[in-house]
Amino acid sequence: MIDTKIPVTVLTGYLGAGKTTLLNRILSEEQGKRYAVIVNEFGEIGIDNDLIVNADEEVFEMNNGCICCTVRGDLIRIIEGLMKRKGTFDAIVIETTGLADPAPVAQTFFVDDDVQRRARLDAIVTVVDAKHVLARLDDSHEAMEQIAFADIILLNKTDLVTPQELEHVRQRIAVINNQAVVHETVNSAVPLDRILDQGAFDLDRILEIEPAFLDEEDHEHDDTITSISIACPTPLDPRKFMPWLQDITARQGQDILRTKGIIAFPDEPKRYVVQAVHMLLSGDLQEREWGVDDPRISRLVLIGRNLDPAALESGFMACAA
Amino acid sequence: MIDLARDHSLKAHVRPIALGAPASGLVWIGDAACFALGDGRVLAVESNGAVHGNGVVHKGAILCAARSPCGRAMICGDDVGDVRRTEPSGQSVLLGRFPGRWIEHIVTSAESGIIAASVGKEVAVWNRQSDAQAHGFSLASTVTGLALDAKGRRLAAARYGGVSLFYALSPQSQPLPLEWKGSHIAVTLSPKADYAVSGTQETGLHGWRLPGREDMAMSGYEAKTRSFSWNRKGTWLATSGDTNAIIWPFEGRNGPMGKRPQLLAPSTYLVTRVAFHPSQDVLAVGYADGAVVLARLHEDMFLPVAAADQSAITALEWDRAGQCLAWGSEDGHGGILDLRKAA
């Protein structure tokens, strides 16, 4: 079946990090591709595009008994309304304000059937200012969330810091989110094929999960977001793993920002791939089968706050068949 | 009288119309079905195929349309912020300009002469006196639906957390809040303004009986409800959002409370638009696959009017006499059924 869903790229990042510069690169360098750009009405100006839509970042709670399940009401309306211009654009870029929490944006694509039918979230791209990010991380909840939610991080303005400072920033980012692909840039200059059409939320394109390289010592204080990677060398029993995963995302879903996993089940030639944004889980058997020589190692990554690595690891291991 | 048992070959009396762009709305003016389109055009075409006008009148995509209070033109809103009154010939007057805003909802009333348009978190109101905006109302969140009662005096605006009711003609009108948790995405008022009913983000309807504001919940829908239609007496409310047309009884003191709805015209596709005939208990139903059928209350049988073409019906309206039915779809397919030929 041909995928007729419009791909959506979300650009986040603190004010002044270089989001608008990146957006203008996308609009000017991607010749032949037409974009609908959704920007905040009070956001940065100077975007050159035919189709610009002002959003007001209305975050709504879903009335479904799930307190962390928030969506962007304006995006639901805008994506529906853009269908009146069907055929006049090929992709959507959403530029959020510096203070935006990416969770409601991502959750909109999980929760709303109408949005899901028309559009697919391609990737969350976070632009980070190498010079100021450490200070931002200390005083801003949102700066950390934006890094934690990213599929791709543009570590920008690397010309303004010393090699030592840059290394420190790299390490800090890796502690928060060890799964994002990091590109170091000046003036947001990155080949666009590294940030567009990534399929980061496409279960069939989640190819591997990097193992953890995190020390326990890196945990600083409770509010800090960290990534936890777990691996199990024996295939997992789906009758144990599924309830366990549902239970932890339901109970700790407010603290768990993102989850990604590639799981081996006994006698199942296909990989089971799972991902979640807070409590919203999606999972499926991937078309791609385990290779003959592939070690059938099940891996799970959780990015969030107040995570207990020992408890999560023992819970995961207990799912072994 | 439409006889569903006899008029079995309605498809033979349909004139297909290539709209060329997504249909946002549709209004009958005299003998002409006037389609408001996503490329800014207004296409006015008679059931015999004669085209009155087909010009680009809006710079942006038209998002909504309603019949002007005078009945001789349509009022449309677009996604660059213009509200215009356009006659079938294409002659057009600018009523309001709200740069950078989307005009997503417009309601009008021949009785009160009012035009109300949603502009983000505001509702702009025009009255009979002038083509300039008369007054406006402010809400705390974006207006997601508008409705008027039969007299065109009570105005309901759907929003996050419920619905706000205004006296549309009164600039000083303070909102009467109808609160219910969650995001409300569409609203209708019963003709006598004794019920307000909203469609919710989580699917299902929420209702309030007025003036006491008693809550009602109507659930069981597969998708969001965006289309409402009352029969001529205001005793039945037809709704979209499921694979049946779901029709709730509003007769008696308690309305639909404790009663079962009628489920008409089942399909494997979702119902996207419903439109009651202006004088009979016949319902036109449009689906997500582009099919259109006619169904009668209390009857299991229904008649196909238009075949499926895989593009959702987004506009569906009877003419005032109830002799012609027109529709348009998201991919720009349209049609007119002329029942005078079927008689």
Contact A60 B160 (CB under 8 A): yes
Q: Is the pLDDT score of B183 beyond 90?
A: yes
Mark whether A121 and A145 lie in a shared domain.
Answer: yes
Mean pLDDT (chain B) is 95
Cis bond upstream, residue B211 (ω within 30):
yes
Residue A306 lies in a domain: yes
Our CA-based measurement puts residue A285 at a distance from the nearest CA of chain B, in whole angstroms, of 26
Q: Write the CATH number for A213.
A: 3.30.1220.10
**DSSP structure string for B61-94:** -EEEEEE-TTSSSEEEEETTSEEEEE-TTS-EEE
Residues of A in contact with B184 (CB under 8 A): none
Per-residue pLDDT of B39-58, as tens digits, reads 999 999 999 999 998 999 99
Please write down the HEC assignment for all residues of B266-296: CCCCCEEEEEECCCCCEEEEEECCCCEEEEE
Q: What is the pLDDT at residue A32?
A: 83
Residues of B in contact with A78 (CB under 8 A): 102
Residue A74 lies in a domain: yes
Q: What is the pLDDT at residue A299?
A: 93
Test mutation, B63, B102, B313, chain A, max A CBs within 10 A: B102
**Which tokens sit at B27?**
């209004």
Our CA-based measurement puts residue B125 at a distance from the nearest CA of chain A, in whole angstroms, of 22
Beta strand residue intervals within B168-254, DSSP E: 176-189, 195-200, 205-209, 214-218, 228-230, 236-239, 245-249
Q: What is the pLDDT at residue B343?
A: 64
**Which tokens sit at B113?**
């002469």
Cβ atoms B139, B162 nearer than 8 A: no
Mark whether A142 and A226 lie in a shared domain.
Answer: no
Residues of A in contact with B141 (CB under 8 A): 58, 73
Contact B142 A114 (CB under 8 A): no
Backbone angles phi, psi at A91, to 5 degrees: -155, 165
Mark whether A217 and A90 lie in a shared domain.
Answer: no
Q: How far apart are CA A123 and CA A195, in angstroms?
A: 8
Contact B22 A61 (CB under 8 A): no
Our CA-based measurement puts residue B40 at a distance from the nearest CA of chain A, in whole angstroms, of 10
Residue that finishes a domain, picked among A175, A201, A227:
A201
Taking the Cβ of residue B63 and every Cβ of chain A, the question of whether any pair is shorter than 8 Å is answered with yes
Q: How far apart are CA B98 and CA B118, in angstroms?
A: 11
Contact B144 A74 (CB under 8 A): no
Residue A37 lies in a domain: yes
Give the number of domains in chain A: 2
Burial of B212 per CB tally in 10 Å (0-12, 13-18, 19+): exposed
Taking the Cβ of residue B144 and every Cβ of chain A, the question of whether any pair is shorter than 8 Å is answered with yes
Q: Is the pLDDT score of B195 beyond 80?
A: yes
Residue A208 banded pLDDT, cuts 50, 70, 90: confident
Residue A1 lies in a domain: no
Say which of B62, B104, B141 has its CB closest to residue A58: B141
Burial of A168 per CB tally in 10 Å (0-12, 13-18, 19+): middle
Taking the Cβ of residue B317 and every Cβ of chain A, the question of whether any pair is shorter than 8 Å is answered with no
Mapped onto helix, strand or coil, the DSSP state of residue B123 is: strand
Strand order in the sheet with A152-156: A51-55, A35-40, A91-95, A6-13, A119-129, A152-156, A181-184
**Which tokens sit at B149?**
């009662």
Say which of A71, A76, A113 has its CB closest to residue B223: A113
Residue A54 lies in a domain: yes
Cβ atoms A18, A24 nearer than 8 A: no
Give A135 or A288, the one with higher predicted confidence.
A135
Contact A81 B79 (CB under 8 A): yes
Per-residue pLDDT of B280-290, as tens digits, reads 999 999 999 99
Query: Which chain B residue has the Cα nearest residue A54?
Result: B100
Q: How far apart are CA B267 and CA B265, in angstroms?
A: 7
Mark whether A87 and A11 lie in a shared domain.
Answer: yes
Q: Is the pLDDT score of A298 beyond 50?
A: yes
Mark whether A69 and A186 lie in a shared domain.
Answer: yes
Mark whether A187 and A232 lie in a shared domain.
Answer: no
Provide the 8-state DSSP code for B49.
S
Per-residue pLDDT of A146-178, as tens digits, reads 999 999 999 999 999 999 999 999 999 999 998
Query: Which chain B residue has the Cα nearest residue A112?
Result: B201
Nearest to B319 by CA among B96, B71, B137, B152: B71
Mark whether A264 and A308 lie in a shared domain.
Answer: yes
Residue A122 lies in a domain: yes
Mark whether A263 and A281 lie in a shared domain.
Answer: yes
Stated as kind and residue range, the H or E segment containing B45 is strand B41-46
Q: How far apart are CA B264 and CA B294, in angstroms?
A: 10
What's the whole-number mean pLDDT along residues A31-39? Answer: 90
Q: Is the pLDDT score of A288 beyond 70?
A: yes
What's the whole-number mean pLDDT along residues B137-150? Answer: 97
What's the whole-number mean pLDDT along residues B316-327? Answer: 97
Q: Write the CATH number for A57.
A: 3.40.50.300
- Picking from A116-125, A220-229, B3-12, B291-300, which range would have the lowest pLDDT averaged per residue? B3-12
Say which of B62, B101, B142 has its CB closest to residue A58: B142
- Residue A134 belongs to domain spanning: 6-201
Test mutation, B58, B62, B79, B80, chain A, max A CBs within 10 A: B79
State ipTM: 0.92
Mark whether A25 and A171 lie in a shared domain.
Answer: yes
Q: How far apart are CA B255 and CA A118, in angstroms?
A: 36
Residue A70 lies in a domain: yes
Q: Residue B288: CB partners within 8 Å, gap ≥ 6?
A: B269, B270, B271, B272, B312, B313
Mark whether A247 and A190 lie in a shared domain.
Answer: no
Q: Is the pLDDT score of A86 beyond 60?
A: yes
Q: Is the pLDDT score of B193 beyond 90?
A: yes
Residue B208: CB atoms within 10 Å: 23
Residue B253 banded pLDDT, cuts 50, 70, 90: confident
Q: Residue A242: CB partners within 8 Å, gap ≥ 6?
A: none
> How big is chain A, counted in residues?
321
> Could you tell me which residues are beta bridge partners of residue A304?
A226, A256
Nearest to A69 by CA among A282, A280, A317, A270: A280
Q: Is the pLDDT score of B103 beyond 70?
A: yes
Torsion of CA A307, A308, A314, A319, to 10 degrees: -20
Residue A222 banded pLDDT, cuts 50, 70, 90: low
Taking the Cβ of residue B80 and every Cβ of chain A, the question of whether any pair is shorter than 8 Å is answered with no
Our CA-based measurement puts residue B45 at a distance from the nearest CA of chain A, in whole angstroms, of 21
Mark whether A160 and A297 lie in a shared domain.
Answer: no
Each as own residue / partner, the long-range contacts of residues B39-48 (CB below 8 Å, 24 or more positions apart, any chain) are B40/B78, B42/B74, B42/B76, B42/B86, B42/B88, B42/B90, B42/B92, B43/B17, B43/B19, B44/B88, B44/B89, B44/B90, B45/B17, B45/B336, B47/B15, B47/B324, B47/B336, B47/B338, B48/B15
Test mutation, A51, A84, A85, A86, chain B, max B CBs within 10 A: A84
Backbone angles phi, psi at A298, to 5 degrees: -85, 130
Say which of B24, B62, B183 has its CB closest to residue A60: B183
Query: Which chain A residue has the Cα nearest residue B331?
Result: A86
Angle, vertex CA A306, rays to CA A305 and CA A308, nearest 5:
125
Q: How far apart are CA A147 and CA A133, in angstroms?
A: 10
Q: What is the pLDDT at residue A1?
A: 44
**Which tokens sit at B72?**
């001789």
What's the whole-number mean pLDDT along residues A193-197? Answer: 93
What's the whole-number mean pLDDT along residues B319-342? Answer: 94
Residue that finishes a domain, picked among A143, A168, A201:
A201
Contact B61 A84 (CB under 8 A): yes
Q: Is the pLDDT score of A3 beyond 70?
A: no
Residues of B in contact with A108 (CB under 8 A): none
Query: Which chain A residue has the Cα nearest residue B121?
Result: A56
Cβ atoms A142, A264 nearer than 8 A: no
HSE at residue B83, side-chain half, CA atoms within 13 A, is 28
Query: Residue type for A39, please?
Result: V
Residue A127 lies in a domain: yes
Contact B331 A61 (CB under 8 A): no
Contact A62 B144 (CB under 8 A): no
Q: Which residues of A touch B (CB under 8 A)?
A: 41, 53-54, 56, 58, 60-64, 71, 73-74, 76-78, 81, 83-86, 112-114
Residue that finishes a domain, picked among A183, A201, A219:
A201
Residues of B in contact with A63 (CB under 8 A): 181-183, 200-202
Q: Which residues of B270-301 are buried (b: 16+ CB within 10 A; e: fewer)?
A: bbbbbbbbeeebbbbbbbbbbbbbbbbbeeee
Nearest to A57 by CA among A25, A119, A3, A104: A104
How many pairs of residues across A and B have Cβ atoms under 8 Å apart? 70
Q: How far apart are CA A301 and CA B272, in angstroms?
A: 41
Mark whether A15 and A117 lie in a shared domain.
Answer: yes
Taking the Cβ of residue B101 and every Cβ of chain A, the question of whether any pair is shorter than 8 Å is answered with yes
Contact B183 A73 (CB under 8 A): yes
